[in-house]
């Protein structure tokens, strides 16, 4: 791992009983990368994200973020280190409003920072102004993901595509350095997917993005690096052109994925 790298997985495994959902995967993600992970269903992509975000425990190997071993850290500590994820199965609070969902994430980030010793506890008017600031941040994020004017709607009332947009706003609210997006375009209309692609492309260069996506147009438009997984194993990592040109990937994986979608 060098200074250039933000994330490194060394021989990371996750077994469920005798089943190897992930088997000794090595992966390095460069700082500022737009790194896509592709592979057929069941390849272990979502499991990989669970291990990186901390929602799932490893059964072997080491995960480093910025050189720090996070393998055994709980989710909140990883959020404090700048790791944020959207999940394939939504983690929104459906009975809360759109604004509340983002606001909760903004406040979570503030708490994680305070727990990391970044600031003393706030009292009196400073707490009030911190809340006003947090609401302002939440509004800005909602505008950024394309959900202005939807603040007071319950998350449950959003369309599928809008929920995914909200999930991205929730993830961005934690001011991540590493943003994990698990099939963000799944179930979106082509217009919604195009808008999401623009949003991800416009993220600041210092936000490193690791993206699982079946929409290969989106992958090849956004990604500077592509990793292909298959049956719990790392198959190959390269530039989009290298991956597209790899006959092994072509015949075995891109073909089946395109056929499946």
Which residues bind to ligand ADP, rule: CB under 6 A? 16, 19, 21, 39, 41-47
- Smaller CB distance to ligand ADP: residue 13 or 246? 13
- Smaller CB distance to ligand ADP: residue 207 or 229? 229
- Smaller CB distance to ligand ADP: residue 144 or 233? 233
CB of 40 to ligand ADP, least distance (A): 7
d(CA 251, CA 21): 23
Is 174 among the residues that bind Mg ion (CB under 5 A)? no
- Smaller CB distance to Mg ion: residue 110 or 188? 188
List the single partner that 21 binds among ligand ADP, Mg ion, none, CB under 5 to 8 Å by kind.
Answer: ligand ADP
Q: Is 149 exposed, middle or buried (0-12, 13-18, 19+ CB in 10 A)?
A: exposed
CB 83 within 8 A of CB 180: yes
Q: Is 129 exposed, middle or buried (0-12, 13-18, 19+ CB in 10 A)?
A: exposed
Q: How many Cβ atoms from other residues are within 10 Å of residue 242's Cβ? A: 13
Q: Which of 28, 46, 208, 225 binds Mg ion (CB under 5 A)?
A: 46
List the single partner that 141 binds among ligand ADP, Mg ion, none, CB under 5 to 8 Å by kind.
Answer: none
Is 246 among the residues that bind Mg ion (CB under 5 A)? no
CB of 114 to ligand ADP, least distance (A): 33
CB of 215 to ligand ADP, least distance (A): 14
- Smaller CB distance to Mg ion: residue 49 or 105? 49
- Smaller CB distance to ligand ADP: residue 109 or 214? 214
Stretch that binds Mg ion, among 84-92, 97-105, 152-160, 166-174 (CB under 5 A): 84-92
Binding stretches for Mg ion (CB under 5 A): 45-46, 88
């Amino acid at each position: 791992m060098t200074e250039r790298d933000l994330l490194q997985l060394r021989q990371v495994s996750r077994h469920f009983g005798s089943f190897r959902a992930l088997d000794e995967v090595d992966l390095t993600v460069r700082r500022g990368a737009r790194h896509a992970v592709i592979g057929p269903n069941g390849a272990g992509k979502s499991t990989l994200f669970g291990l990186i975000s901390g929602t799932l425990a490893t059964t072997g190997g080491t995960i480093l973020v910025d050189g720090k071993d996070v393998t055994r850290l709980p989710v909140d500590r990883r959020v404090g280190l700048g790791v944020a994820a959207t999940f394939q199965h939504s983690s929104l609070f459906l009975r809360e409003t759109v604004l509340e969902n983002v606001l909760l994430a903004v406040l979570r980030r503030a708490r994680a920072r305070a727990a990391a010793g970044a600031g003393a506890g706030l009292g009196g008017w400073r707490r009030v102004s911190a809340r006003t600031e947090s609401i302002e941040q939440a509004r800005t994020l909602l505008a950024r993901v394309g959900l202005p004017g939807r603040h007071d709607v319950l998350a449950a009332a959003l369309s599928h595509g809008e929920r995914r947009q909200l999930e991205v706003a929730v993830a961005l609210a934690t001011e991540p350095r590493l943003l994990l997006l698990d099939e963000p375009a799944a179930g979106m209309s082509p217009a919604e997917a195009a808008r999401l692609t623009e949003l991800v492309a416009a993220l600041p260069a210092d936000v490193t993005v690791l993206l699982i996506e079946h929409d290969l147009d989106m992958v090849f438009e956004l990604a500077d690096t592509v990793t292909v997984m298959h049956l719990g194993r790392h198959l190959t990592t390269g530039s989009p052109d290298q991956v597209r040109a790899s006959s092994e990937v072509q015949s075995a994986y891109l073909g089946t994925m395109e056929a499946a979608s």
